[in-house]
Amino acid sequence: MWLDKVNEKRKEHWDKNFSYKPYTPLTISKGKKYIKLIDESSVWAFVSMWEGVLKGSLVCKGDLLKPASWNQPAKHS
């Protein structure tokens, strides 16, 4: 449900600013600790499914994390 709303808002923004190329919605890939949000061929963000410490920083369930690479999030939410 959340992803549908995000894709809807992104499409509105896309149509206003990038109408010269087609819009591609975000897709998900679920892992053990994170849900990966994928935009075409790059990682848009990670959503945490666990609580704990990541690289010395506290991560809570539901935190939206920037990507550090294709397979892991950055240190801070």
The total number of residues written for the chain in this structure: 77
Q: What is the pLDDT of residues 23-73, one digit of tens each?
A: 999 999 999 999 999 998 999 999 999 999 988 889 999 999 999 999 999
Overall number of domains in the chain: 1
Give domain status of residue 28, yes or no.
Answer: yes
Reply yes or no on whether the pLDDT at 76 is more than 80. Answer: no
* 37 is a domain residue: yes
Domain span at residue 6 reads: 2-65
pLDDT digits (tens, 9 = 90+) for 1-20: 889 999 999 999 999 999 89
Q: What is the pTM of this model?
A: 0.83
Report yes or no on 11 lying in a domain.
yes
Would you say residue 25 lies in a domain? yes
Whether residue 73 lies inside any domain: the answer is no
Domain membership flag for residue 56 = yes
Alpha carbons 71 and 48: distance in angstroms, whole number: 13
Please provide the distance, in angstroms rounded to a whole number, between the alpha carbons at the two ends of the chain. 21
Q: Decide if 77 is inside a domain.
A: no
pLDDT of residue 30: 95
Query: Is residue 74 domain-resident?
Result: no
